[in-house]
Amino acid sequence: MNILAIDTATDILSVALETNQGLWFMESDAGLHHSERLLSMIDAVISQSNIKKEDLHLLACMEGPGSFTGLRIGFATVKGMAAALGIPFIAIPTLDCMAYSWKLWPGYVLPVIDAKKNCYFWACYSQGKRLTEYMDAPLSDALSYLQNNPATSPVLLTGPDAEKAQGLFEQDLVQDGASIQIIQDQWFRNGKAKELLVLAKNRFTIEGRGSEDSKGPMYLRKSDAELSRGE
């Protein structure tokens, strides 16, 4: 099966393509310039793999949470390609993809994305299973969860804003006198298109179908425009 996955949820843009001949991956950690770079990166991995777009069987994108603009670009791209090629697409929650590589970590895994306004998008995982809702909340809420559900192993912080979050956690831990050990994923700035590809393939294998055509981004927070209109 030839699967193309694109991660546009954060400022780290990545594209992954898997065929029977191997895996191709590209990423760009250069801010939110996805609309300028995405199509050329897709063309590049397809060219490197020596297949054609018409040979693709499945597409995948991040469902969210993440950048409003980035998620819209991802959905528009895979929906347009899916319609043109007559193939399905699958959307996978962003935080699931960020936690996936650490499914064997013995303690909690906490992927984080800076959601601005003193809040983060986050969720807590253990052994590959999500334990909380997808949150748009201050890190103090995550700390409260960890304190109320103690674990013997260190908490692993991952996601594009893990470094910033670790600093804030450490400040709160000192103030609260808590004994929670926080470890930062050293690859926290990597794109997650490869993880997205694996999760999409697994879901398609189990369910045998793609996401509904009406599927759209998971927005945990209303846009500024919606808030200003009182929606």
The string of pLDDT tens digits covering residues 98-152 is 999 999 999 999 999 999 989 999 999 999 999 999 999 999 999 999 989 988 8
Q: pTM to 2 decimals?
A: 0.93
% pLDDT > 70, the chain: 93
Domain architecture of the chain: domains with CATH? 3-94+190-228 (3.30.420.40), 103-184 (3.30.420)
**Segment 167-174 long-range contacts (CB within 8 Å, at least 24 positions apart):** 168/139, 169/139, 169/143, 172/139, 172/140, 172/143, 173/143
